[in-house]
Amino acid sequence: MSDAENESHRAGDGSAEPPVCQTPDPSPVTVPFALPPGACDCHAHIYGPAERYPYRAGRRYTPAPVGLAEYRAILATLGVARAVIVQPTIYHDNQITLDALEASSGQWRGIAQLKPEVSDSDLQRLDAAGFRGVRMHARTGLDDLELIAKRVARFGWHVQLHLDARALPDIGARLTRLPVPVVVDHFARIEVRQGIDQPGFRALLTLLESGRCWVKLSAPFRLGDEVSPYAGVLPFARALVAARPDRLIWGSDWPHSSYHGAMPNMGVLLGLVGEWAPDPDTRDLILGSNPARLYGFE
């Protein structure tokens, strides 16, 4: 996995500075359907100047020179009212997302990166600021999954997992026993060339149908079909929509850090929801009502 949320962190080793990521496309095409009130981008990252938000040593990438202003301009062009900001792993703490939420006047929510020893007072502070979940990465291990889930359950948060679908047959039952909902990123990073009957995707459908899981219809360009509009993803998206449209949300993965193909167009990414969910009421669920429930938008 070579994306912005990759969970691997090496200790600083004096190696060369990581290359700067590609700059995202700043000009979204027009979305071919009407968005519901309160439409939400449920997966984006905000980056800031290193002098204000220092990077971790040994990070795998350097963000493109875009941040809060550029993302807000994209949302305004698209007509997307709300957003969920996922704390990037290249920072030492959640401060950059805290600052982004404060600047949003209550229109954005946050997903934190946490250590098991996080204090109750810090959790309370994050909750008051608008954080609604904690992200964990299967590649670095899920030994603390139950502990962290227990810590955030009192706040009504969820656990967001970045994982490979191939892990789901082994851990699916474990996830259903957690005291909090589970949100799975990026279609569970399925590999579209493996086909609709691959065990990981079947396990994802089972987990989704249990009602204990939500799936982000996000980052289709990272699933093995890099040619826009990512037609290889369509049967998977349609199967998820047929299974539990009330447990699906959409995310852009802006600014698509560490993606090495042609930069996606945000209007195309949002417009794909119309292909995946042709029924207008179902689209409105995915883009509006579902995020409002999951993230506690008023």
Burial class (CB in 10 A: 0-12, 13-18, 19+), 189: buried
Residues 6+ apart with CB under 8 A from 165: 187, 188, 189, 190, 191, 198, 200, 201, 203, 204
The CA R_g of the chain, rounded to the nearest whole Å, is: 18
Q: Quick check: is 253 catalytic?
A: yes
Are 159 and 151 spatial neighbours (Cβ–Cβ below 8 Å)? no
| φ/ψ of residue 145, rounded to 5 | -55, -50
What ranges in 48-198 are assigned the alpha helix state H? 68-78, 95-103, 120-129, 145-153, 168-176
How many CB atoms within 10 Å of residue 161? 22
Whole-angstrom distance, CA of residue 290 vs CA of residue 296? 10
Beta bridge partner(s), residue 158: 133
| φ/ψ of residue 35, rounded to 5 | -85, 150
Cis omega before residue 229 (within 30°)?
A: yes
Q: Which of 253, 279, 281, 284 is catalytic?
A: 253
**Residues with catalytic function:** 253
